Each structure stands twice: as C-alpha cells, then as structure tokens.
C-alpha cells in the first residue's frame, strides 16, 4: 500500500513539474514572460539591456534607491554603458526600476546579479547572495525560474540557495526551478554587448536546466548547456583562476627580467609570435576589478574543506598582491637617481580605475599604491578622465579628486606614475612636460622620449 501511495505521489509531482515547465516555457516563447533582475550594477544592468532588447518586460530591482531614481530619470551611473541605454529604458513601457520587493512577484524569471566579495581573511562573503535569495524566497510563487549569475564556489546554488527557497513551502523542480549561469561581463570592452558573450547554463535538475536554456537562448546569441550547476560554478572559477595564475607568472618574470635589464613587454610580444601553445598575458601594477583578485579564493576556501591546499592559486595571489609594493620601490629608485626621495616629492598618478577606459575602481591597485606612497611621505594627486573623485572602497578611504592634465601639473610633478593606461590621456603631452615617468602599463611605448626620463615598472 505504501509503495502504491509513494508511486502515485511521484506521478502527481512529475505531472505538476511538467505542467509548470510548460507554463513558463510558453511565456518565454510568446514573450509574455516578465524577467526580474536583482542587482543593477556592472552585471545586472547590461543583462537588463539584453533582456529588454529581446522583447521581454523587465523589472529591475536594487536596494540602492539612488540607482532606482537615476534609472527612472534616465540618468546613467555606469559611464562605460553610455547614456543611451538608461534613457531608452526610462522611456520604455517594458522596463521598471524598483526597490519594492513585492514587484518581483510579477517576474516569471528572477536573475540574481549581486556582489560576491571576500572577507577580511580572504574567505568567501556570500551575504549578498544569501540576502538576495531570501528576497527571492519571500516573493517566490509557483511557476518561477530563479537563476544566480554571481561568481561563487561549487555547490552554492544547490546547497545554499535551494534550502532557502524551499522554506517558502514550494518544492524545487516541481513548483519552481533553479539554475546557475555565470556572468561574463568585461566592462569597457568596445563593440561587444552582453548578448554577444557566450553563456554557460547548468541547473540543479534537468527541468531547471531546460528552462534556463529556454530563457538564455532567447536573450544571448550562444548558450552552452552543462550537466549541472556545479560544473557551471566551477567553470567560472577556472576562467578567472587561469587569468590570475598567468598574470602572476608574467608579473614575477617582470621583476626578474627588470634586474637582468630585459624588457618584459618585448619578451611577451616575441613569445606571442608563436601561433600555438602560448597566450599573451601582460604584467601590471597589481590585480583589480571584481573578478580576478577575488574569484580564485572562492575555490581556495572550498578546497580546504576537502583537506587540500590550492598551492598555485595561493602563490599567484601572493605574487600579484606584492606588485603595488614593487611599483612603489621602482618609484623610489627612479627618484633616487634624480637625487630625490619619496618623502616630500610631488607624485602625479595617471589613472586610478582598475582597467583602461572605465570608471570602475573596484579592487584597483591604485588604492594600495597611493596609500603606500602617502605612508612614505609623498604628496599625492591624480588625474583620471573617468573618475572625478576617489570613491569609498571596502578597504580604502582616499580623499582625493582628479586634477586636470595640464602642462603646469606635469611640470610640477617630481614623478608621473602611470597606473592605468586610459586612451583619453595625452601621452605626448606627458612626454613633453614631465621630467620623470614611471610606467607600469607600457603606455609610453611608441612615444618619442626626447624630454622625459621613462622608467618601466
């Protein structure tokens, strides 16, 4: 009797699951589905654009009321996306920006695009994922697909999110569905939109994967299905660990080759002529952005639970973390050759964003470099055409504002330190008017060095 009852219950659940899947799929097919995006930052807002362009109604949610007000007023707070996007969204009857969580009940698909930073001891901080999942649970109803896009360690979607969502009394795979699809945003990359960047999709069950594929294939040009959420989570970590390790390799080589009097940039360019078995990575003043300095340690922490130490990842982290200090030492050496010390010198920093041509300073090595130089007694000021004032950061509070890049400012500097190689910087002017330039990005490559002393760091 028990076996019959169990079999009958299983049959009922299967039918309910298929009916719910078909309901969501039908809405996706005829474009009547509403898509909710939680977190309207560097990942969420470009996704809103892609979904909106695909013809869906979008509810954009963020706890930051300032962002909501700016979006509804057609004002952009992410300069690299341009003003056309937000003005288009503000004028559209298919987009609503809100900080009212009950508005998410209208969404058939809810995509979480929230930060996943590190804690004080480089441990994963899932607080934003947990809070946004709790939000999704409070507004969860039958017939919803929930997708996480935030980078995290394998098992987060299944082990952390699913139990929270099921506290609603709804069952995953029957009443609602759950999947993971890692973001692959590259802020400032010209000519490439979110819809053009290939997507990975993996669900906690087959139906969840099917529905996530149905959604993303209608929004993104190329979507790759993987067997599980865990594979998608691990793949995202591998992408950024690969970059972190290889950047650490060239950063370490830079230090060695500098001492041998060999130009690392020329070495990398030479090696890059090999058409197979080599991919060029370039050195810099340290890692920045929300991905490469952070994501590898999500796997490091998870690996420790299995009793394994991720030696490559941790060594790469150590090498890259030492680069701001190396840059400061090169500035000191360059000033010493001019019979000056860091203490009392005027040092102009060119670029504080973590990468060229964006206004994003998250984890930027410029912050650590500036604090070290100030600690040594330097008089610091900076120019960045994309960042008018140094924003508050989790680890740094720096009270500086960008100065105009003029001949007088350059002449007044004892040293000009290039940290970020923005295209909008006039490097010919720098060469003409500066007396000493320490270049961490090879930005002065190709500039005639008739006046300034150029030191690569």
Task: Tell me the per-residue pLDDT of 357-385, one tens digit each, with 9 for 90 and over.
Answer: 999 998 899 999 999 999 999 999 999 99
Q: Which helix (H) or strand (E) holds 350?
A: strand 346-350
Q: What is the pLDDT of residue 14?
A: 81
Q: Does the structure show a pLDDT above 70 at 39?
A: yes
Q: What is the pLDDT of residue 1?
A: 42
For residues 76-99, give the mean pLDDT: 89
Q: Does the structure show a pLDDT above 50 at 47?
A: yes
Q: Does the structure show a pLDDT above 70 at 179?
A: yes
Q: What share of the chain in percent tops pLDDT 70? A: 97
Which band of pLDDT confidence, cut at 50, 70 and 90, is reported for residue 180? very high
Q: What is the pLDDT of residue 84?
A: 86
Q: Closest by alpha carbon to 366, among 456, 443, 284, 428?
A: 284
Tokens of 440: 């961490």
* Fold agreement (2-227, 322-456): yes
pLDDT digit string, tens, across residues 90-130: 999 999 999 999 999 999 999 999 999 988 777 889 999 99
Percent helix, strand, coil in the chain, to 5, is: 45, 15, 40
Provide the residue ranges of all domains of the chain, joining segments of one domain with +: 2-227, 322-456
Least confident residue range of 87-96, 112-121, 172-181, 410-419: 112-121
CATH topology classification for 2-227: Rossmann fold (3.40.50)
Could you give the C-alpha distances from 316 to 153, 246, 441, in angstroms and in order? 18, 8, 19
Strands 176-180 and 199-203: antiparallel
Alpha-helical runs (H) found in 73-188: 83-91, 127-138, 162-166
Beta strands in 283-345 (DSSP E): none
Least confident residue range of 171-180, 183-192, 421-430: 183-192
For residues 211-237, give the mean pLDDT: 97
Q: What is the pLDDT of residue 176?
A: 97
Backbone phi, then psi, for 112, in 5-degree steps? -95, 120
Q: What angle do CA 347, 379, 283 make, to 5 degrees?
A: 40
Residue 139 CB partners (closer than 8 Å, separation 6+): 101, 102, 104, 105, 107, 110
Q: Does the structure show a pLDDT above 90 at 298?
A: no
Q: What is the pLDDT of residue 6?
A: 60
Q: Closest by alpha carbon to 284, among 348, 385, 368?
A: 368
Tokens of 292: 């490469």
Domain spanning 322-456: CATH 3.40.50.720: yes
Could you give the C-alpha distances from 146 to 64, 72, 133, in angstroms and in order? 21, 25, 9
Is 291 assigned a catalytic role?
yes
Q: Is 217 exposed, middle or buried (0-12, 13-18, 19+ CB in 10 A)?
A: middle
Of the candidates 21, 291, 301, 415, the residue annotated as catalytic is 291
User: Would the CA dihedral through 395, 400, 405, 410 be positive or negative?
Assistant: negative
Least confident residue range of 27-31, 38-42, 101-105, 286-290: 286-290
pTM listed for this prediction: 0.91
Q: Is 191 helix (H, G, I), strand (E, B) or coil?
A: coil
Q: Closest by alpha carbon to 421, among 327, 344, 351, 345?
A: 351
């Amino acid at each position: 009797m028990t076996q019959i009852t169990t079999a009958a219950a299983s049959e009922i659940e299967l039918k309910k699951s298929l009916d719910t899947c078909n309901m969501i799929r039908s809405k996706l097919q005829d474009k009547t589905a509403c898509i909710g995006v939680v977190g309207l930052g560097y990942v969420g807002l470009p996704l809103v654009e892609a979904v909106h362009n695909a013809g869906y109604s979008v509810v954009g949610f963020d706890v930051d009321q300032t962002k909501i007000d700016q979006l509804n007023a057609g004002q952009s707070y992410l300069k690299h996306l341009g003003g056309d996007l937000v003005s288009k969204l503000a004028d559209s009857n298919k987009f609503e920006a809100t900080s009212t969580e009950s508005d998410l009940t209208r969404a058939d698909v809810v995509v979480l695009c929230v930060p996943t930073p590190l804690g004080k001891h480089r441990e994963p901080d899932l607080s934003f994922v947990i809070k946004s999942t709790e939000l999704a649970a409070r507004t969860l109803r039958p017939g919803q697909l929930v997708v996480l896009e935030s980078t995290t360690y394998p098992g987060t979607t299944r082990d952390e999110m699913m139990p929270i969502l099921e506290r609603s009394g709804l069952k995953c795979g029957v009443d609602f569905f759950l999947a993971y699809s890692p973001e692959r945003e590259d802020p400032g990359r010209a000519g490439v939109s979110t819809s053009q960047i290939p997507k990975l999709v993996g669900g906690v069950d087959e139906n969840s994967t099917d529905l996530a594929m149905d959604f993303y294939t209608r929004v993104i040009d190329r979507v790759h299905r993987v067997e599980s959420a865990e594979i998608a989570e691990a793949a995202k970590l591998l992408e950024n660990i690969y970059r972190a390790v290889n950047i650490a390799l060239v950063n370490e080589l830079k230090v060695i080759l500098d001492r041998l009097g060999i130009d690392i940039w020329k070495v990398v360019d030479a090696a890059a002529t090999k058409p197979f078995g080599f991919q060029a990575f370039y050195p810099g003043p340290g890692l920045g952005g929300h991905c490469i300095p952070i994501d590898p340690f999500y796997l490091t922490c998870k690996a420790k639970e299995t009793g394994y130490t991720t030696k490559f990842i941790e060594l790469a982290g150590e090498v890259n973390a030492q680069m701001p200090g190396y840059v400061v030492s090169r500035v000191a050496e360059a000033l010493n050759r001019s019979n000056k010390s860091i203490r009392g010198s005027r040092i102009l920093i060119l670029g504080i964003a973590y990468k060229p041509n964006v206004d994003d300073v998250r984890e930027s090595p410029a912050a650590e470099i500036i604090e070290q130089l100030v600690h040594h007694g330097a008089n610091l000021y900076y120019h960045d055409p994309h960042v008018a004032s140094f924003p508050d950061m989790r680890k740094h509070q720096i009270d500086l504002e960008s100065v105009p890049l003029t001949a007088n400012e350059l002449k007044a500097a004892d040293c000009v330190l290039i940290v970020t190689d923005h295209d909008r910087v006039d490097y010919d002017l720098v060469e003409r008017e500066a007396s000493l330039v320490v270049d961490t990005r090879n930005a002065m490559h190709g500039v005639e060095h008739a006046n300034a002393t150029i030191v690569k760091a």
